[in-house]
Amino acid sequence: MFIGYQAGYSETGSDKLYVDNSNTTTPLIYGDFSADEIIVNGSLGVGTSPSYKLDVSGGQARIEISTQYSERLCHSGSDGSSTQQVILGDCSGGGADIAEYYGTHDASLEAGDVVKISSFEEDKPFIAKTNTSYEKTLLGVVSTDPYDIFGDVYLDRDNAKPIALAGRVPTKVSTENGPIRIGDLLTSSRTAGVAMKATEPGLIIGMALENFDRPGVGKIKVFVNLSWYGFGGGTMPVNQLTQFDLAGNLNMNGRRILNVSKIVAQNEVWSIDENGVLKVKVTNNGTSKEMFGLISAKVEMALSGSDELNNGEKIINLNTVDPDFVKNISQNTPLKVLVTLTGRANGIYVAEKTSTSFKVKELNNGASSASFDWLVIARRKGYEDAVSSALSVSLPVSEPPDSSEPTP
């Protein structure tokens, strides 16, 4: 099919389409019906006179792109508009920060302004300029030339602005809290949208990469990294104060939980109430029993066991029984040892004690092999009394008076 003066004049094949006013081999429109192929060698406009190779107006355009490549495709203009004209192309290098879109109702907001969270509308966050020092809802800085932008899709009326998440960003600053030197941490000031040097605990936007010491408001490069300043003079990223993982687990990162009324485990298997009482529900064969944790005036640890006399005596070495227990008990506080016969003998007593062992003997110079239970209570290491003497030698214990009859 040939349309136009001399269109397809030199074509010798069949099933072809030529649209042109000359016998050129590259007509305005070329088609190959056998290959289901059309080539437009000019500009194509849909609903408009084309200004580009492909110009679509008056509706949405769909482009199917292969998923075998990993490079990005960028567009002109701003995100979120349903009416704007955009040009697609390769992404330019851009700036040195990563940003995320946030809506704002402040038409004066511009690059370099320090901002805070102001509201949450239609499931999207909105921002405004900071206007107090150490702003508690401090968020970041309006990016000047972000390398890449993420975030929710906003409408034109939302006036979305890219807020730097991390990287080097030109930021408005003043000397409200003193001259700024390279390495100083910066926070919000009382001047709307302007940062100052941080000298008190609170949220910071990042670290100054340039000096600033002149009247009024200026701009310097800042390495943006929203953090909390004041942990012993150091900083901690906000997302490391506490963390929730995808499984819903809370990581306190070594921080404390304050003003808690009660902590309850799943299915109330255990709990700690507002008075510090530990309650454990022990279940066996469908029967449950509530048990309570012991309360001691000292920070102590307990270890128990069973053994037998050998010719009327037995040395219990805790290093052999449980070496990990020994590693965590005080070497300077005497052990408390309780022994109870479970076999027939003349009675038993604790004859010697060290910081890690004790000797059990039978009364009346007995020589039985009776069984017995024992319980050791030891002070936890690091919780010793203010004044205590080290136990470096065995402490002998006098034998009790003879008993008149063997103890069953």
| Per-residue confidence (pLDDT) for residue 242, from 0 to 100 | 53
Same domain flag for 287 and 368: no
Kindly list the averaged pLDDT for each block of 10 residues, start to end, along the chain of length 408: 82 87 88 88 83 74 58 58 60 69 92 94 90 93 86 79 91 96 94 94 91 95 86 53 56 73 88 90 84 85 96 96 94 93 94 94 95 96 67 52 52
Torsion, Cα 303 309 313 317, to 10 degrees, reads: -30
Residue 51, domain member (yes or no): no
> Helix H segments across 293-402?
318-321, 323-327
Whole-angstrom Cα distance, residue 155 to residue 151? 13
Our separate counts of H helices and E strands in the chain read: 2, 32
- The type of residue at 202 is G
Residue 58, domain member (yes or no): no
Residue 67, domain member (yes or no): no
Whole-angstrom Cα distance, residue 348 to residue 406? 10
Helix (H, G, I), strand (E, B) or coil at 35: helix
Same domain flag for 224 and 320: no
Residue 85, domain member (yes or no): no
Same domain flag for 217 and 279: no
Residue 64, domain member (yes or no): no
Same domain flag for 136 and 170: yes
Same domain flag for 29 and 160: no
Same domain flag for 97 and 175: yes
Taking residue 110's Cβ as centre, other Cβ atoms within 10 Å add up to 13
- Burial code of 278-307, b = ≥16 C-beta within 10 A, e = fewer? ebeeeeeeeeeeeeeeeeeeeebbebeeeb
Whole-angstrom Cα distance, residue 337 to residue 377? 7
Same domain flag for 241 and 102: yes
pTM, rounded to two decimals: 0.43
Whole-angstrom Cα distance, residue 161 to residue 79? 10
Q: What is the CA radius of gyration of the chain?
A: 40
Residue 52, domain member (yes or no): no
CATH no. for residue 380? 2.60.40
Same domain flag for 273 and 218: no
Structure tokens at 20: 């042109």
The dihedral through the CA atoms of 205, 211, 214, 218 has a sign that is negative
Structure tokens at 283: 């279940």
Same domain flag for 210 and 285: no
Same domain flag for 35 and 109: no
Same domain flag for 142 and 158: yes
Same domain flag for 224 and 309: no
Q: How many domains does the chain have?
A: 4
- Its domain, for residue 279, covers 263-292
- Residue appearing with tokens 């792109």: 65
